[in-house]
């Protein structure tokens, strides 16, 4: 899973840098450029918005940190943008516990971004617990994709 | 709620014909599975057309309540040999014995000129051939539903020795739309599904409603302005207000037993702690300080203790502390991950959700963590709520997926003994049930 994920993120990054924009839409509530299964901070699709977590974990693995590093570069280049980090969980936990866990995941991302020099005043977090899955379905593949954080643009600020 | 105040209940016990406690019918609902007790309900008697209409409505509802409890089976009226038309006579017991009716309800309705109804009814022990009790109620005619529930409550109480719960309501979250863009609305209905209404319009995600002890208010989580926070809602006026001015997400609210506090979690910087908030003084108190997840707090019935969920031991488990946040003690030690402790209104058990080996369970244990017992399980069951008599538990159930299709989310009700499981019918998919306390 890890290897797969690392490879896919790497490949995508390389691919996307060299790729013109095609056929996505900008989500008005998150400011993200959305393609099926993928979300980006920009239309060039160079900055993936989502990172993934293990079950009941809020720790960042190296793949997640790699993605966040790309986000940091983007944030440095776009200093006027405010960020809202969403924390999400799979459905294999109780509602309230997952709200807490989602907050913890979003906060992990926030702390990492701040540690890389992003001003904390630009970073807000929100937990959706298990209320907003990314992938429908009650099976492992969906749950893997739903244990995530999404770095969105804080369009309300 | 205003209607309720208008009701005049008169309460009287008729003179008992015989007193013989040893032979009396008593349904034991504490010791596991019991076959539903067959009882007869003579159609409530009315002397004119108006009265007959009300009588019919009441009869139907009393039958539905008693059947729904799982403890009683009202015998099909077609089988009745005797049709009683005079409420004051002693029934022909052999006629009821032969169809095995253990108890018999005989009632009557009278309408008066001011539009009130008076209902009298007697409960007979068929085999002991004696009257167990008799009551009379008066109310406005429009309250026929409530009066019917009260009648069923009286019968339930007299036969089981437990407090009835039919005259109560359920608040819950009505769900619709695809999982990724689920619309959730706060809704409320009588426990039998009548008088259903939506309390929010679905524009904001709402979760986990809980009743105040006065039954007038709910506390719940709403994502108004995309910020998850705890709110109060006045059920009758629809007035909504935020609870406290906290510097982060507030969630998992519950009222204190006297309704003067809301207890909840506050999450800041990846750390969820439990706070109590005094609704009168607006003073908030931090009760836990562990750097991790402390959530799902629930007061004991007298408010002295608080059960909660914490991952301080490495996985989610249930802990009990006093109401000052001291003397924290873990009480869940079985295999699996434990969460959502909910203290029974009787104080004898804590209901919980457990996750183990890909299966979710609803269970109960004592406040000391003894006598753990699973009462329901499934692909996803969670969020128990107690009926006010502490005998039944309602909870959210999501079915196993069929092929790739996700299961439906619905509310179920089950007896504390783990029997008589039954769906609580709702117009849409449903989750997060909250059972109201009893009305005064």
**Chain B residues touching A126 at Cβ < 8 A:** 226-228, 249
Q: Which residues of chain A have a Cβ shorter than 8 Å from any chain B Cβ?
A: 29, 56, 58, 84, 91-97, 99-101, 103-104, 107-108, 111, 126-129, 131-134, 136-139, 156
Q: Residue ranges of the domains in chain B?
A: 2-160, 169-435
3-state secondary structure of B193: coil
Inter-chain residue contact A107 with B182, CB threshold 8 Å: no
What is the interface pTM, i.e. ipTM, of the complex? Answer: 0.91
DSSP state of B400: P
Chain A CA closest to residue B381? A94
The residues pairing with B118 across neighbouring beta strands, listed in sequence order, are B110, B138
- Domain encompassing residue A67: 2-153
**Both tokens of residue B303?**
């408010």
The alpha-carbon gap from B160 to the nearest alpha carbon of chain A, in Å, equals 34
Selected residues 106-145 of chain B with any CB under 8 Å from a CB in chain A:
none
The alpha-carbon gap from A118 to the nearest alpha carbon of chain B, in Å, equals 16
Distance CA B440, CA B435 (A): 15
Choosing among B203, B270, B383, which should be mutated to test the A contact, i.e. which has the most A CBs within 10 A?
B270
pLDDT, tens only, A51-79: 999 999 999 999 999 999 999 999 999 99
Please check whether residue B310 is in contact with residue B319, taking contact to mean a CB–CB distance below 8 angstroms. yes
Inter-chain residue contact B383 with A94, CB threshold 8 Å: yes
**Both tokens of residue B324?**
């000052």
Inter-chain residue contact A133 with B179, CB threshold 8 Å: yes
Give Cα B426 distance to the centre of its chain: 15
Give me the residue from B228, B309, B406 closest to A127, CB to CB: B228
User: HSE on the CB side for A48, CA within 13 Å?
Assistant: 26
Q: Does residue A23 surpass a pLDDT of 80?
A: no
3-state secondary structure of B98: coil
The alpha-carbon gap from A58 to the nearest alpha carbon of chain B, in Å, equals 9
**H-type alpha helices, B248-304:** none
Please check whether residue B245 is in contact with residue B281, taking contact to mean a CB–CB distance below 8 angstroms. no
Inter-chain residue contact A138 with B406, CB threshold 8 Å: yes
User: Long-range contacts made by residues B411-415, C-beta under 8 angstroms, separation at least 24?
Assistant: B411/B170, B411/B172, B412/B376, B412/B381, B413/B387, B414/B362, B414/B375, B414/B376, B415/B29, B415/B70, B415/B375, B415/B391
What is the CATH number that goes with domain B169-435?
A: 2.120.10.30
The residues pairing with B382 across neighbouring beta strands, listed in sequence order, are B396
The band of A2, judged by pLDDT with boundaries at 50, 70 and 90, is: low
Please give the pLDDT value at position B215. 79
Selected residues 301-360 of chain B with any CB under 8 Å from a CB in chain A:
309, 311, 315-316, 337, 339-340, 353, 355
DSSP state of B22: G
Inter-chain residue contact B382 with A95, CB threshold 8 Å: yes
The alpha-carbon gap from B32 to the nearest alpha carbon of chain A, in Å, equals 28
Q: Which of B314, B368, B359 is nearest to B341 (CA)?
A: B368
DSSP state of B94: H
Q: Does residue B356 surpass a pLDDT of 90?
A: yes
CA distances from B215 to B63, B190, B418 (A): 26, 12, 27
The band of B184, judged by pLDDT with boundaries at 50, 70 and 90, is: very high
Number of domains in chain A: 1
Please give the pLDDT value at position B21. 44
Question: In what side-by-side order are the strands of the sheet with A33-35?
Answer: A25-26, A33-35, A38-40
Give me the residue from A29, A91, A107 closest to B270, CB to CB: A107
Give me the residue from B270, B316, B383 closest to A108, CB to CB: B270
3-state secondary structure of B152: helix
Distance CA B35, CA B71 (A): 7
The alpha-carbon gap from A44 to the nearest alpha carbon of chain B, in Å, equals 25
Q: In which element (H, E) is residue B170 found?
A: strand B169-176
The band of B56, judged by pLDDT with boundaries at 50, 70 and 90, is: very high
Distance CA A86, CA A50 (A): 9
Chain B CA closest to residue A146? B180
Q: Which of A113-127, B358-372, B404-418 has the lowest mean pLDDT?
A: B404-418
pLDDT, tens only, B232-245: 999 999 999 999 98
Q: Does residue B169 surpass a pLDDT of 50?
A: yes
CATH number of this structure's domain B2-160, picked from the four choices 3.40.50.300, 3.40.50.10070, 3.40.50.1010, 3.40.50.800: 3.40.50.10070
CATH for A117: 3.30.1330.60
Inter-chain residue contact B208 with A91, CB threshold 8 Å: no
Distance CA A148, CA A128 (A): 10
Q: Is B93 within 8 Å of chain A by CB?
A: no
Please check whether residue B406 is in contact with residue B376, taking contact to mean a CB–CB distance below 8 angstroms. no
Q: Does residue A19 surpass a pLDDT of 50?
A: no
Averaged pLDDT of chain A: 90
pLDDT, tens only, B361-411: 999 999 999 999 999 999 999 999 999 999 999 999 999 998 888 999 999
Distance CA B272, CA B290 (A): 8
Residues in CB range of A48: below 8 A, 6 or more apart: A9, A12, A13, A38, A39, A40, A41, A67, A70, A71
Distance CA B44, CA B84 (A): 9
């Amino acid at each position: 899973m890890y290897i797969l994920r690392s490879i896919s993120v790497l490949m995508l990054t390389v691919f996307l840098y060299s790729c013109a924009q095609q056929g996505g839409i900008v989500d008005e509530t998150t400011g993200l450029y959305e393609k099926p299964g993928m979300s980006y901070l920009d239309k060039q699709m160079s900055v993936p918005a989502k990172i993934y977590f293990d079950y009941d974990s809020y720790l960042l693995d190296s793949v997640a940190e790699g993605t966040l590093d790309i986000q940091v570069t983007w944030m440095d280049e776009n200093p006027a943008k405010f960020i809202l980090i969403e924390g999400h969980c799979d459905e294999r936990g109780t509602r309230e516990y997952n709200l807490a866990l989602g907050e913890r995941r979003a906060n992990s991302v926030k702390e990492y971004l701040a540690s890389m020099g992003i001003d904390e005043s630009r970073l807000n977090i929100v937990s959706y617990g298990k209320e907003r899955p990314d992938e429908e379905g009650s099976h492992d593949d969906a749950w893997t994709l739903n244990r995530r954080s999404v770095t969105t643009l804080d369009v309300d600020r | 709620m205003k209607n309720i105040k208008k009701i005049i209940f008169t309460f009287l016990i008729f003179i008992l014909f015989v007193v013989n406690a040893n032979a009396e019918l008593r349904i034991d609902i504490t010791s596991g599975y019991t076959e539903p007790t067959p009882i007869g309900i003579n159609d409530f008697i009315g002397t004119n057309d108006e009265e007959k209409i009300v009588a019919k409505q009441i009869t139907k509802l009393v039958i539905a309540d008693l059947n729904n409890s799982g403890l009683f089976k009202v015998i099909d009226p077609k089988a009745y040999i005797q049709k009683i038309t005079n409420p004051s006579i002693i029934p022909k017991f052999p006629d009821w014995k032969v169809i095995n009716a253990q108890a018999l309800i005989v009632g009557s309705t009278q309408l008066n000129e001011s539009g009130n109804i008076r209902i009298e009814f007697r409960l007979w022990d068929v085999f002991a051939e004696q009257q167990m009790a008799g009551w009379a109620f008066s109310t406005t005619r429009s309250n026929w539903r409530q009066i019917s529930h009260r009648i069923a409550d009286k019968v339930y109480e007299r036969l089981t020795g437990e407090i009835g719960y039919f005259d109560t309501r359920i608040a819950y979250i009505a769900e619709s739309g695809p999982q990724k863009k689920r619309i959730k609305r706060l809704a409320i209905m009588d426990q039998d599904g009548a008088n259903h209404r939506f309390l929010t319009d679905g524009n904001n995600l709402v979760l986990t409603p809980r009743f105040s002890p006065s039954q007038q208010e709910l506390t719940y989580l709403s994502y108004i302005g995309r910020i998850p926070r705890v709110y109060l809602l006045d059920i009758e006026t629809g007035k909504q207000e935020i609870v406290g001015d906290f510097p982060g997400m507030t969630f998992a609210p519950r009222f204190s037993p006297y309704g003067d506090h809301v207890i909840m979690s506050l999450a800041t910087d990846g750390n969820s702690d439990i706070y109590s908030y005094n609704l009168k003084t607006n003073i908030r108190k931090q009760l836990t300080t562990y750097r991790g997840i402390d959530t799902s707090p629930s007061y004991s019935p007298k408010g002295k203790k608080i059960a909660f969920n914490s991952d301080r031991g490495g996985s989610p488990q249930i802990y009990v502390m006093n109401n000052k946040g001291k003397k924290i003690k873990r009480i869940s030690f079985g295999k699996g991950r434990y969460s959502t402790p909910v203290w029974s209104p009787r104080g004898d058990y804590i209901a919980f959700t457990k996750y183990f080996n890909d299966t979710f369970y609803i269970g109960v244990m004592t406040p000391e963590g003894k006598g753990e017992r699973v009462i329901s399980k499934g692909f996803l069951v969670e969020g128990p709520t107690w009926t006010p008599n502490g005998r039944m538990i309602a909870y959210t159930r999501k079915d196993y997926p069929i092929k790739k299709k996700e299961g439906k989310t619905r509310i179920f009700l089950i007896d504390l003994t783990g029997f008589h499981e039954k769906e609580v019918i709702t117009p849409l998919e449903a989750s997060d049930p909250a059972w109201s306390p009893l009305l005064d």
